[in-house]
Amino acid sequence: MNYLTATQVDDHTVQKSLAKISDILDQFYRDIDKTRDSVRLHESTLGRDELVEFMRAYLEGSITIGKYNKRYEEMAAKRFSSQYCVSSNSGSSANLLAISSLVQTGRLKQGDKVAVPSLAWSTTVFPLVQYGLIPVFVDIDRYTFNLDLKKLSEAIMSHDIKALMLIHTYGNPVNMDVVMDICESFKLILVEDTCESMGATWRGMYVGSFGDLSTFSSYYSHHICTLEGGLTATSNKELYQVMQSIRSHGWTRGIDFDLSSYEGLDEIDPNFLFLYLGYNMRLSDPQAAIGCIQLPKLDDYIAARTKIANLYIETISTSSILNDSIRYMCTDSRGHSSWFGFPIFVENINYDDLTMLRHFLLENRVESRPFLAGNFCSQPVTQKFKHIADNLEEVKIFHNQSVALPCHQSLSEDDVRHTCSLIEHFLGKNNA
């Protein structure tokens, strides 16, 4: 059965209304007070252009998945060197889509072990557990703050690991030469969780272009923003089609599945045919329209973040107190970090004093946060699922002595110097 085509508002009417809205927004952004009296962890990348495009989709009646999602997915796939990309309502959903598609196509099965960094975010881990997989937590490298690749190899040989859920920590690309050798040698499925590292590169190739699947986030605090949102990229057509289905309730509508092996379909409306266990993870079209505006701005945002990170490094290096007390994230010359934040490890400090440092920063209107979720194995939720956690000495130390500082496109040089001077004052006073 074919359904009626939805009536679209004509372009002239939409453009006429948008011109009036645009004039109002121009005045709004001229009048708004942009002075800031605090150093925020994150600040919005959204502005006039994004709101106009959001309103365009809204006024046209493009609400659920439609032409703007298609355009956004095509832009992202091209940008991150994948054949296909599936949009979703969050980076967490992007991870869930990736793992769900691997299990539902039989590439992974319940009880399989998957390596994951011990310094992690919850929804990197939870899809594994939700699909009956067993996370094998691997320790981190004390200098790059990424997965320790030597310990990864040891874990693979000890635990018969089938896949790697890789995080490029806070935008810092992992040594992908070694990772790809490991995955090839042990025949591992590679999923790149690139939610906090959009735009980072290794040997000129975007992280997220190496894995069998890769995930991205466009949450408010991340490199680009679509209010909420995620992307899952792959060059495997079967995984692409299955993820499209899982994202939309598990049904087949609009997806070119080969149904020749299925029987008894004559009495099922093809518009309401379900092949997979699914969810509603869809990104609305107005949000996707924002993504089409945000994605071309990614390079500028990363350049601004890199400038801020370099200033942190310079300021720390020229202060005897900071240079002796702080270890920051080391990057490889073959890679380029997209600097989701500026994480630091503070020498000779305990958790109570670290908490006092964070309170001192906040009293002086500088925000900070724990580094990801710290040692994820220390989270109470891990008591509720089977996992393996061997030799995690480094991340246990990091859990009590690390903090993430602001590093984003809206910070000024004065913000960085102010933040560093506060830390210098606190450490100098405490070490006196």
Give the closest residue to 309 by CA, choosing from 345, 346, 337, 347.
337
Give dist(CA 239, CA 233) in Å, integer: 10
Q: Coil, helix or strand for 6?
A: coil
CA 353/CA 409 separation, integer angstroms: 30
Alpha carbon 185 to its chain centroid, in Å, reads 27
Distances (CA, A) of 250 to 93, 153, 239, 287, 293: 14, 36, 13, 22, 30
What is the separation of C-alpha 215 from the centre of its chain, rounded to a whole number of angstroms? 7
CA 251, 230, 293: angle at the middle one, nearest 5?
115
- The residues, ordered by sequence, that sit 6+ positions from 343 with a Cβ below 8 Å of its Cβ are 145, 169, 170, 328, 329, 371, 402, 403, 404, 405
Point out the residues that are catalytic: 222
Pair 190, 166: CB distance under 8 Å: yes
Whole-number Å distance between alpha carbons of 92 and 387: 20
Q: Distances in Å between the alpha carbon of 5 and those of 1, 2, 8, 71, 267? A: 13, 9, 9, 20, 24
* Under 8 Å between Cβ of 129 and 114: no
How far is residue 386 from each of residues 102, 128, 130, 381, 383, measured CA to CA in Å? 20, 11, 11, 11, 8
410 alpha carbon, distance to own chain's centre: 19
- Dihedral Cα 405, 94, 231, 298, nearest 10 deg: 0
